[in-house]
Structure 1
Amino acid sequence: MFDVVQLMLRLSYYYSLFLGVLNFEIDTRNGHARLTTQSTVYAAVVNVLMVCLLPLLTQSELLHLMWVHAGLIHEYLFLVVMGMRMGCVIATLFSRWLQRHRLLHLVNAVRRLAIERPQVVRMWRRGVIKKFLSVFASELVQMLGNILTLQTFLTFNLVISIFSLYMLTALLNVIISHYYFIMLNIRSHYMLLKQELRCILAETRCLEREPRQASFMIKCCTLADRLEAIAARQSELQRLVDLMSRIFGLQGCCISTTSYITCIGSIYFTFCAVKRTAGMSLNPFYYLLIAVELIVYFVDLQITVNNIYTVLDEHRELVQLLEEYPTFASGLDRRLEAVYESFQLQLRRKPLRISILGLFYMDKTRVISMANAIATNSIVLIQYEIKYSSN
């Protein structure tokens, strides 16, 4: 039977191999990741070509055209955004080689958990579809917008330059998609843990009405075993999150900075296009494309960020569910009580945190602060444009 999600995952995997982002292979039949000579050599060659492509892009017709016509600040900001994206790609590719064996272990660990709990596959299907469509739309609209912006200057060499530049920046979306998919798996496992914990809590309350002592003890032992299994899986999930923080630390820092600058640049450039300050002859279709590009970019960013914070929310809800234990009547089996208390201690002793290169932790207050900073800086740039474009 045709499975559109499996098709999307395979396309993403082969696209990652083609771009050299993955320096190992994954068996598409069983999901097992392994090192091979072919994948190592191909990724090394592609990565070297990517690095060598940067000096060529600085001499390309695209950047030359931008510098010649960079009479306004929005064009300089565009160059800064592109430069930061390229720097982020190079740092990420370098990090992928340093963290190669850790990433391989992470992929196989996620695969093993999915085999143990195949229910998660149904739980992350919608998330895969949303991310695939948002990335595809974002790349397509950006490419069309860039070509339409420079349509009066288009030559064959310029088209090749634009395509080469966006091949580099497309790596960012692939890298973010890898992080997104792993977090999506962890999020699905947390959702499954919550469902199982709710069942255990409900059955534990029913024990208060169990009249037979033998049946009571058997059920208590069974619930204790199931609760220990949940605690072990939660510990494994948290260990994987910590491993992800170490693997994607440098990448996360680069991507966060690049996304911050890109958001400011997108808002400012949209304003410049609407106010016709770019010195270009624009048509209504171009305005529509700019608006769609801005919307698609922020939707894609929201999907990625929301996935990260949903994992933290799922963990917090798991902790809140477990805190219902003191409301049970006294007289439970001593081992079952000990397992509840041990699980609570496990969650309190080591709370779930997502670190970015050890510099800061991801939380909603930080996102709100970044959103405020983006709005403030965008307003400053727009005020600058209004003041000096009329002179």
Structure 2
Amino acid sequence: MLVLVKWCLKSCYWNGRFSGVLNFEADFKTGQMVATKRSTIFSAFSHLLMFTLLIYHTLRTHTVTTMWKYANSLHEYVFMVIAGFRLICVFLALVSRWTQRRTFMRMLKSFWILYKKNPEIIQYCQRSILSKFCCVTMAEIFQVIVTFVLIRNKINFATGLRLWAVLSLTAVINVIIMQYFIAMASIRGRYTLLNRDLRTIVAETRSLNPNRSGVFVTRCCCLADRLEEIAISQSGLQKLIEQLSEAYQGQVVCLVIGYYLNMVASGYILFSITKYKGLSDNSPLIVTICSIAYFVFYYLDCCLNSLNIFYLLDEHDKMVRLLDQRTLFQPGLDHRLETVFESFVLNLSRNPLKLRFFGLFEIDRVSSFALGNSILTHSLLLIQYDVEHF
């Protein structure tokens, strides 16, 4: 499984290079990140060509009615809004990549150092990474199949260029999300290792018999040193999370908006296929099957993105609960050990782990539930409008 994870990581890196999301080169043997002329020119040309073709494609408002004979004006309006906002969001995300290129180079360097110091973290996040890679890959494969089947009789050079632009846009979105996913999964893996060590320290401290002997004092000093190392590591991890959130906040906000609009539109499209039989009656069976499979993997991908962050927050909460067990320690512990415990707890209380973006929203289970409720509400509003006017 470890070989597969490394292959996924390499694939993500090269996809980032080919899509222009990574506008610098990385040497993972030495950890050096270099913004070469070659990587700069290739990324700039790729983005310029993609957006030129996408703008031209978006302005062709008859796209939906060409694909679907029975599409109404609301379908066309929804398509244009989704395509326009998606284009703007990806544009802003890539602008952030160019304006903060040095920041992303430092971030990748930091994660390279984190992995070199703690190679075990891969064991605790390999399933998440493989599941994410599998969902993204399968969704893209089904999307490509549906697209090629629908335009099989209209393939020419111009159509091929527009298709390449659309698939490149999807690749850019997936690469950005995959990079953020891997970063958060790696931090979660490191948190798991810290919690494992902290659990051992808490168990050893609870077993201490305060008798003020030399052995007792030595053990307390040893435990205090180990606890200080965990506290320093946790503080560094939280700073890394804050830097990651700050660097990705523009991209995360843009992509969350994109996900939101796609979810709302997906609910309406599923309703439309049921209501307007002509939307799917003339399509081959493989289109229907692949479309359903695409939606399944797309929603699984969204769930994995959310769960990845929730599990990280859970690991942080586990650390807080482990430290709360200090109230069960026997009285009379070494003063230094008690001081380190109190300092660690105080630091976590003063700096709770919160994933905020531009102050607009915070990612946690409550906000995700509210977002899901909002998606359902707006999907129903679209359906209600369709029922009343068409």
TM value normalised by structure 1 = 0.92
Partner of 2:133: 132
Partner of 1:289: 290
Contact 1:25 / 1:34 at 8 angstroms: preserved in 2? yes
Say if 1:326 and 1:279 are closer, same or farther in 2 by CA, change over 3 A.
Answer: closer
Question: What SS class does the counterpart of residue 207 from structure 2 fall into?
Answer: helix
Is structure 2 residue 2 aligned with structure 1 residue 34?
no
C-alpha displacement at 1:110, in angstroms?
Answer: 1.6
Letter in 2 for 1:198: R
C-alpha displacement at 1:156, in angstroms?
Answer: 5.3
Letter in 1 for 2:182: F
Question: What SS class does the counterpart of residue 22 from structure 1 fall into?
Answer: coil
Say if 1:2 and 1:343 are closer, same or farther in 2 by CA, change over 3 A.
Answer: closer
Contact 2:206 / 2:328 at 8 angstroms: preserved in 1? no
Letter in 2 for 1:177: M
Letter in 1 for 2:29: R
Contact 1:138 / 1:296 at 8 angstroms: preserved in 2? yes
C-alpha displacement at 1:386, in angstroms?
Answer: 3.7
C-alpha distance in structure 1 between counterparts of 2:86 and 2:137, whole Å: 18
Partner of 1:353: 354
Segment of structure 1 superposing worse, 92-101 or 144-153: 144-153
Contact 2:268 / 2:383 at 8 angstroms: preserved in 1? yes
Letter in 1 for 2:224: A
Say if 1:218 and 1:83 are closer, same or farther in 2 by CA, change over 3 A.
Answer: same
C-alpha distance in structure 2 between counterparts of 1:151 and 1:134, whole Å: 26
Letter in 2 for 1:343: F
C-alpha displacement at 1:92, in angstroms?
Answer: 1.0
C-alpha distance in structure 2 between counterparts of 1:253 and 1:52, whole Å: 24
Matching of residues 332-351 of structure 1 within 5 Å = 332-351=333-352
C-alpha displacement at 1:161, in angstroms?
Answer: 2.0
TM value normalised by structure 2 = 0.92
Is structure 2 residue 66 aligned with structure 1 residue 65?
no
Identity of aligned residues (%): 35
Segment of structure 1 superposing worse, 283-292 or 373-382: 283-292
Question: What SS class does the counterpart of residue 23 from structure 1 fall into?
Answer: coil
C-alpha distance in structure 1 between counterparts of 2:238 and 2:376, whole Å: 34
Partner of 2:109: 108
Segment of structure 1 superposing worse, 338-347 or 272-281: 272-281
Partner of 1:50: 50
C-alpha distance in structure 1 between counterparts of 2:295 and 2:198, whole Å: 41
C-alpha distance in structure 1 between counterparts of 2:171 and 2:338, whole Å: 52
C-alpha distance in structure 2 between counterparts of 1:113 and 1:250, whole Å: 24
C-alpha displacement at 1:215, in angstroms?
Answer: 1.1
C-alpha distance in structure 2 between counterparts of 1:123 and 1:82, whole Å: 37
Is structure 2 residue 203 aligned with structure 1 residue 205?
no
Say if 1:264 and 1:2 are closer, same or farther in 2 by CA, change over 3 A.
Answer: closer
Q: Which runs of 5+ in 2 are unaligned?
A: none
Say if 1:358 and 1:368 are closer, same or farther in 2 by CA, change over 3 A.
Answer: same
C-alpha displacement at 1:267, in angstroms?
Answer: 1.7
Partner of 2:24: 24
Question: What SS class does the counterpart of residue 292 from structure 2 fall into?
Answer: helix
C-alpha distance in structure 2 between counterparts of 1:291 and 1:39, whole Å: 38
C-alpha distance in structure 1 between counterparts of 2:13 and 2:121, whole Å: 20
C-alpha distance in structure 2 between counterparts of 1:114 and 1:79, whole Å: 43
Contact 2:96 / 2:250 at 8 angstroms: preserved in 1? yes
Contact 2:121 / 2:190 at 8 angstroms: preserved in 1? yes
Contact 1:114 / 1:120 at 8 angstroms: preserved in 2? yes
Matching of residues 164-313 of structure 1 within 5 Å = 164-208=165-209, 213-277=213-277, 279=279, 281-313=282-314
Letter in 1 for 2:63: L
C-alpha distance in structure 1 between counterparts of 2:63 and 2:362, whole Å: 41
Letter in 2 for 1:301: C
Letter in 2 for 1:125: Q
Letter in 1 for 2:119: P
Contact 2:111 / 2:183 at 8 angstroms: preserved in 1? yes
Partner of 1:377: 378
Contact 1:10 / 1:28 at 8 angstroms: preserved in 2? no
Number of equivalent positions: 386
Question: What SS class does the counterpart of residue 26 from structure 1 fall into?
Answer: strand
Question: What SS class does the counterpart of residue 208 from structure 2 fall into?
Answer: helix
Say if 1:279 and 1:126 are closer, same or farther in 2 by CA, change over 3 A.
Answer: closer
Segment of structure 1 superposing worse, 196-205 or 276-285: 276-285
1:219-270 CA distance string (max 9 Å, x none): 1111101100101111111101111121111111111111011011112112
C-alpha distance in structure 2 between counterparts of 1:290 and 1:386, whole Å: 24
C-alpha displacement at 1:271, in angstroms?
Answer: 2.2
1:86-144 CA distance string (max 9 Å, x none): 21211111101111122111111122122222211222221221111111111111222
CA RMSD of aligned residues (A): 2.3
Contact 1:85 / 1:172 at 8 angstroms: preserved in 2? no
Matching of residues 114-125 of structure 1 within 5 Å = 114-125=115-126
Letter in 1 for 2:256: S
Say if 1:247 and 1:47 are closer, same or farther in 2 by CA, change over 3 A.
Answer: same
Letter in 2 for 1:229: E
Q: Which runs of 5+ in 1 are unaligned?
A: none
Question: What SS class does the counterpart of residue 3 from structure 1 fall into?
Answer: helix
Letter in 2 for 1:84: F
C-alpha distance in structure 2 between counterparts of 1:271 and 1:153, whole Å: 28
Letter in 2 for 1:40: T
Contact 2:139 / 2:293 at 8 angstroms: preserved in 1? no
C-alpha distance in structure 1 between counterparts of 2:274 and 2:242, whole Å: 44
